[in-house]
Structure 1
């Protein structure tokens, strides 16, 4: 389990760091006016939440092997809700630029989560 988690984490964090670099470069290159703290919050939040979600799924995969997909879906739903709550509590208005600053790391995280959870589900067969 630890080996699987470390393998996922290394790939996930490398991809997320590369996307973060490209994202911040595009924002600065095109002089898009936004708050860099929102970008940082979004990437850190998605990274931490993804690590927690995958860890929970790895821990529960044997006991709840038939419900892993539902656990993943619930976790993804909660991820959106928690981020919206954090932005509302910090007074961040969800306009188009803030949405894209959240959506970019969310989609990258989601793609990697789906890939890894599908590997877990296939290994349970």
Structure 2
């Protein structure tokens, strides 16, 4: 396993664990159900997809170096596709997406997106400076 993949995976897991703890603490404080709205699945799937996208970017970096931004956008589109296949039907059962349902998916999604963007930006800048 390349060192950058290992560091990225650890970073995703640690930051998502902190975010998940904060999320559950907030739900508990607001006296809302802790494990409703597929919250665990949302964190696991977002972490898994972030790591898979990072692996794909590493694997394709030499072949598609000038198209890395498009590959990253494809990864984001993949996440939305997963949302609409896995989560959206469950959230729309009552024809309303509640705040807790929204945040159950969006908080891990946004957290992963920020980590991915920062990590891949640093990685791509390092690749550009090595030319």
* TM-score of the aligned structures, taking structure 2 as reference length: 0.86
Cα distance in structure 2, aligned partners of 1:22 and 1:43? 13
2:48 equivalent to 1:45: no
Q: Secondary structure at the match of 1:12?
A: helix
Contact 1:34 1:97 in 2 (8 A): no
Cα distance in structure 2, aligned partners of 1:123 and 1:27? 40
How far off is 1:9 after superposition? 1.1
| Large movers: runs of 4+ above 6 Å | none
Residues 69-97 of structure 1: CA deviation (Å, up to 9, x unaligned)? 100011101201211211245x3323332
| Segment drifting more, 92-101 vs 12-21 | 92-101
Aligned length: 124
Which residue of the partner structure matches residue 82 of structure 2?
Answer: 82
Residues 99-123 of structure 1: CA deviation (Å, up to 9, x unaligned)? 1111111111000000111122112
Equivalent in 115, 118, 121 of residue 115 of structure 1: 118
Q: Which runs of 5+ in 1 are unaligned?
A: none
Contact 2:39 2:104 in 1 (8 A): yes
* TM-score of the aligned structures, taking structure 1 as reference length: 0.90
Residues 25-73 of structure 1: CA deviation (Å, up to 9, x unaligned)? 1111211247535110110110110010001001111111101110001
Contact 1:53 1:75 in 2 (8 A): yes
Cα distance in structure 2, aligned partners of 1:79 and 1:112? 15
Once superposed, what is the RMSD of the aligned Cα atoms? Answer: 1.7
